[in-house]
Structure 1
Amino acid sequence: MTIAWVLDMMPKLILHVLLIIYVIDVLVVNNVVSGFSNFDSGYENVILHRSRRNYESGTGKKNSVEISSVGRRSTIFSTENSTVVYAQIGGTAALPCVVRKFNSGVVSWLRRKQEPPTLLTVGLTTYSADDRFFVEHVRHLQNWGLLIKHVQPSDEGHYECQVSTHPPTSIFIQLKVTEAVAEIIGAPDLHLRAGSILRLVCALKYSTETPSYVFWYHDQNMINYDTGVKVVPNRTSSILELQEADQRNSGNYTCSPSNAVPASINVHVLNSTEEENPAAMLHVNCGNSLNTISSTSFVILFINVFSCTR
């Protein structure tokens, strides 16, 4: 090996050494950065986890079963935790509990109104003395829903669907009970001209179920099937129509759904003489639910006011 050969190879050796140093430097830096990143991520997870546990233990609203469900819900349940279900008084509440991963566990429902919680069902067996509670199991959907018939205001609250894993895993469903009420648009009084179309719209508020029927009453007499009366029902309202109303159609009208608090309205059908009375024409119904005031009434009202001020 001659000196000339060494001098000729020196640049190549230096280049190889520099390349090796560069590669080592990149690998070391990446590992350090990755390590810090993993540490930060892990530290963040620890902080979030500890904060969640501190919150859950501090509020007194959570329990060990619910804490364990936070991490398991996505693999055990398809139903979202803290789902809110609305049901009206007298109706049927359906609380869902779809289990994604079941194996050999047992599904139970508990009422979280007080401590200790009340056991309602285990599997398909009802343990509650109240026969309004029972489980509806749809196998192909893996739904173990809790049904509550003839819902009462006292049924409102939190219910727990628990799977017998180790430890037990749960989700919580909140039931809110509403009272459905009827409301007639234009109440409490409606005025219209004789010969106009009487059209009353009864809307259902806070209703979660379609009523089986809606009866209309005129002065305590049911008129759904009377000649000339047309009743148009749908899911959230009922419409009463009466062609060419006359004074015989004046009086109190009541809309009475099967599952809601009834509502009433006083209808005043005005003849030609009453049309000249400005006070009576303040709420005239022209058949399309619009209230108008006749120009003749305005003129008469102006003349009367002018005469009184002289």
Structure 2
Amino acid sequence: MSPSRTKAAWWLATFLTVFVTGEMPIQMEEPEPEFLQALENHTVTQGRDVHFTCVVNHLSNYRVAWIKSDSKAILAIHTNMVALNPRLSVTYNNHNTWKLHVSNVQANDSGTYMCQVNTDPMKSQMGHLSVVIPPDIVDTVSEGSSAREGGSVRLTCSATGVPPPTVMWRRELNRPIVFRHDGGKEKKVVTSFKGECLELAHVQRTDMGAYYCIASNGIPPTVSRRYHVQVHFIPQVKVTNQLVGAPLGSDIQLQCYIESAPAAMNSWYREDGKSLVSDKLSENPKFRVAETMVNEYSLWMNLTIKSLAPGDFGTYICSSVNALGKMESQVSVHRLELSVNGFGAEEPMVSGAAWQRARNLPSARARPAASHAHYFLAHHLPPQLYALLLTMLRYVHTF
């Protein structure tokens, strides 16, 4: 029932009482407005929506107002908005419930909100809004850092958010982060490091790779940024065998291990000044170079020579050159000769001086079973290993 109808009914009842009894009735006082529940507190992630609920009974002719306590700004009276903020609105259920809505909550919406009834003295209740913000890394572009081997690298990562985020550093694939003394020896090895600044002294090539700055404050999502560390050094080249022997017509593979940073120009070539092997791959199918990456600063560069011809024997050089310098390593390819030995089996021989001496050594007296054994070994062992084994046996028989 509306207030005007209530008053009309009261005056009608009063008139009838006076007419019947001749006495004025005692007027009952209207109850004071009262809040039926406390105004709630909210913690909301930035960008979400939220509302405060104010329930008032016996409001009568009084009005409900919404006020931002910290700024003393009047936001709304009843359902009429005072604040010029399109994200604020008030709804009323036509009974006793008013709601203040805040959409797309922002950081400056944090604070204390008051639901007030204009009685004398004024009645009010308050609720607090806390706006939390997920972490964000300030840097707009992923940074990288480089240094010569033995130098220092410093990575800095700043993050914002509410509450203030914690910054943690990790390496890709959970590789260890190594801190070193002035002498370059390991001081501390960790899987993670807490702090906005990560400083690595006396860096080595093993420190190269991706480092991640991870910021978190308990408000999802956690964010990260990738930083790349580059360590520069002169190439290092190493061949697995410096002397390789093989018979005519066979295929051989020369293996070369290279470490370099920054990236290097790698190639195989002949010591006698013949054309670069790596540059002639498409023109000469008997040479094939294959590169296999081990990590970002090392690789295998293997040279395969097919169907060895007399002109293929000699010295081959594995070369690597970058902006800091050049390094080479060489392999001598010798011819293994096949001759008939004292047991009637074919015996692979190396044409080098060492193998020549071994071939001229007197043979042991043949035994019937030895011929089969030598024949088996000659056909099941690599030529180099068989030649070495046979030479050792001849030395033993000599003594």
TM over 0.5: no
TM-score by length of 1: 0.34
Higher strand fraction (1 or 2)? 2
Which has the higher Rg, Structure 1 or Structure 2? 2
More contact order relative to length (CA 8 Å, sep ≥ 6): 1
TM-score by length of 2: 0.28
Higher helix fraction (1 or 2)? 1
